[in-house]
Chain A
Amino acid sequence: MTEALLEPALDLASLLLLSGGVFLGITGAVGVLRFPDFFTRLHAAGVTDTLSAGMILAALMLQAGLSLISVKLAFILLFLLYTSPVASHALARAAVHAGVKPVDAKPGESSSPS
């Protein structure tokens, strides 16, 4: 593929990825507003943490090309994927220990006594 064709193709790909990432970010926000309680809202926020951030960073990497900037963007994604579940887990655990009751949650069948 020639340079003249590669540029617009990359731009189009990052445009699609950015739009998708923004849509997922908005979805996360709408979910936080719509869902009934703390725990279900945590799931909605998870969409923003994972796929939305991933798509936006991937779009930026396409714009930066093969450079140190792309490597640093990849590091941002990597550390986001390492830290965001720790934060969500800490929040959920703190909520349970503080006595927040999940709304309408059924007990799941389990093989170990709860």
Chain B
Amino acid sequence: MLYFLLLFAALFGFWLLLSGYWANPLLLLLGLASSALAAWIGTRLEQSDTRGYSLRMLLRLPGYWVWLVGEIVKANLDVVRRVWRPHTYPISPVIGHLPLSQKTRLGKTIYANSITLTPGTVAIEVSDDAVMVHALSESAYADLAAGDMDRRVTWAEGRSG
């Protein structure tokens, strides 16, 4: 029920901001109805796996995003210098499996997407306790293997405490 209400509120907020019609009762009603329908369908789709989601995660994710944006900027600069100065900064591709410590499907998805979103590393395959990663350079792979991002996603997942 909580999941339904949150999804409904988010969808209706999204609808309001996209439409910009805030004074027409008919349109508002139609927006409410379509948000409710979409939220209901979403609840049915996720019926089996909403228990892993916690409110704590919603509060912690923005902090994680701020850190992730910083990482994305750093990784971008690394790839940029490997593109323009290939002799000074050669590429050295690495492919390997790294452990992951998230418990929920959503947590694993966030970790794998964060890896792929950071230029220089791509998550190729996710299993229960490992993720297969291709990295542009040994240093990018080593950074990921150090496990900082993994720990932060598990922290944001909010199930340890």
Residues 37-91 of A at the B interface (beta carbon under 8 Å): 37, 39-40, 42-44, 46-47, 49-51, 68, 71-72, 75, 81-82, 84-86, 88-89
Q: Contact at A71–B123, with CB atoms within 8 Å?
A: no
**Complex Cα gap A111–B95 (Å):** 14
Determine whether the beta carbon of A114 is less than 8 Å from that of B97.
yes
| Contact residues of A: prevailing secondary structure | helix
Report the minimal beta-carbon distance from B120 to chain A, rounded to whole angstroms: 5
> A9 within 8 Å of B by Cβ?
no
Please determine whether A39 and B18 come into contact, CB atoms closer than 8 angstroms. Answer: no
B58 part of interface (Cβ distance < 8 Å): no
A30-B83, A35-B91, A85-B116 in contact; A112/B124 too (CB < 8 A)?
no
The answer on a CB contact under 8 Å between B95 and A50 is no
A47: which of B17, B95, B119, B121 is its contact (CB, 8 Å)? B119
Q: Is A27's CB under 8 angstroms from B84's CB?
A: yes
- Is residue A2 contacting chain B, with contact meaning CB distance below 8 A? no
Nearest B residue (CB) for A108: B96
Segment from B39-47, B135-143, B152-160 that makes contact with A? B135-143
Q: Contact between A107 and B95 (Cβ–Cβ < 8 Å)?
A: yes
Q: How far is the CA of A88 from the CA of B145 in the complex (A)?
A: 20
State the CA gap A46–B140 with chains docked (Å): 14
Could you tell me if A108 and B117 are in contact, using CB atoms closer than 8 angstroms?
Answer: no
Contact check, B117 vs A39: say whether CB atoms are below 8 A apart.
no
Residues of chain B within 8 A (CB-CB) of A86 are 113, 116
* CA A98 to CA B117, docked complex, whole Å: 23
The interface residues of chain B lying within 8 Å CB-to-CB of A113 are 97
Nearest residue (CB) in A for B145 is: A108
Q: Is B133 an interface residue (CB 8 A)?
A: yes
Q: Which residue numbers of A lie inside 8 Å of B, CB to CB? A: 24, 27, 30-31, 34-37, 39-40, 42-44, 46-47, 49-51, 68, 71-72, 75, 81-82, 84-86, 88-89, 92-93, 96, 102-114
- Which B residues are in CB contact (< 8 Å) with A85? 112-114, 116-117, 123
**Inter-chain contacts of A68 with B (CB < 8 A):** 17, 20
**Once the chains are docked, how many angstroms separate the CA of A89 from the CA of B109?**
11
Bound-complex Cα distance A58 to B69 (A): 14
Are B117 and A43 touching (Cβ within 8 A)?
no
- Whether the Cβ atoms of B119 and A46 lie closer than 8 Å is yes
